[in-house]
Amino acid sequence: MTVALMWEARAVDGRGPELLEWAYAQAEVLATAPLRREILRAPQDRVLVITWWDAPYDAELPELPEPDGELITRAVHRWRFESVERD
């Protein structure tokens, strides 16, 4: 089964590039390397990190931590999804 972890944060105004660099650095040092990793950005200084894992849905997987509170405007949002195969 493939599980995707999504991590999304919003930087303090004007600090989007800094949050993006922080996310790149954190994604590179996860305890285990994911099958795939993608980092995206959006307006309002938002950063999204998606990692894909070959693991059960409820597996313990390494996740990006919370950035320093002075870098973000709110708590990080996290979601977990599993791949679905159509019969």
Distance CA 41, CA 20 (A): 8
Domain assignment present for residue 37? The answer is: yes
- Percent share of the chain, pLDDT over 70: 100
- Nearest of 16, 1, 5 to residue 67 by alpha carbon: 16
Per residue in 38-77, pLDDT (tens digit) is 999 999 999 999 999 999 999 999 999 999 889 999 999 9
Confirm whether 14 is domain-assigned: yes
Residue 64, Cβ density class (10 Å: 0-12 exposed, 13-18 middle, ≥19 buried):
buried
pLDDT of residue 85: 84
Within a domain: residue 39?
yes
Q: Give domain status of residue 87, yes or no.
A: no
Q: Domain for residue 33, yes or no? A: yes
Q: What is the value of pTM for the model shown?
A: 0.92
What is the number of domains present in the chain?
1
How many C-beta atoms surround the C-beta of residue 79 within 10 A?
A: 10
CATH number at residue 25: 3.30.70.100
Domain that holds residue 24: 2-82
